[in-house]
Copies of this chain bind each other. A is one copy, B any other.
Amino acid sequence: MENTPSTSHSDIPGVDALVNELIGRVADKWTLLVLEALEEHGESRFSQLARNVPGISQKMLTQTLRQMERDGFVHRTVHPVIPPHVDYRLTPLGHSLGEAFCGVWHWAEQHLDDVETARTAFDTRD
């Protein structure tokens, strides 16, 4: 498996840095949780998301949603009524991101025990 990594993501120098930056933005804790909530519950209102994402504050929810909207992951629909009504739903791009992270979720599930074991082994040795 030592042949693939260098060819898969280093074709053009400079892309690496951009990809890194993108990963950094996308691998954000709150982004992942909001992404998951939207995958699970489908189109949601702001207050629904606040309830479905455990522990998120209003500020971070707003901020995360703005960022995801800017990156093209969520679509924001404002119904101009009083009181305000805003719906958020994943775009196809957002969905594809969710699927890409599916592999990592999968890995985490499968290897949760391995990591746990490694940790206790590390902690109890020496």
Contacts and interface: CB of A to CB of B under 8 A. Distances in A.
Nearest to A31: B27
A22 B112 contact: yes
A126 interface: no
Given A103-B104, A109-B8, A109-B19, A95 B1 contact: yes
A70 B5 contact: no
Query: Interface of chain A, helix or strand or loop or mixed?
Result: helix
Nearest to A105: B9
A19 to B, nearest CB: 5
A126 B69 CA distance: 14
Interface residues of A, number: 53
A33 interface: yes
A105 B71 contact: no
Interface in A21-45: 22-24, 26-27, 29, 32-33, 36, 39-40, 42
Interface of A: 1-2, 4-6, 8-9, 15, 18-20, 22-24, 26-27, 29, 32-33, 36, 39-40, 42, 69-72, 93, 95-109, 111-112, 114-115, 117-119, 121-123
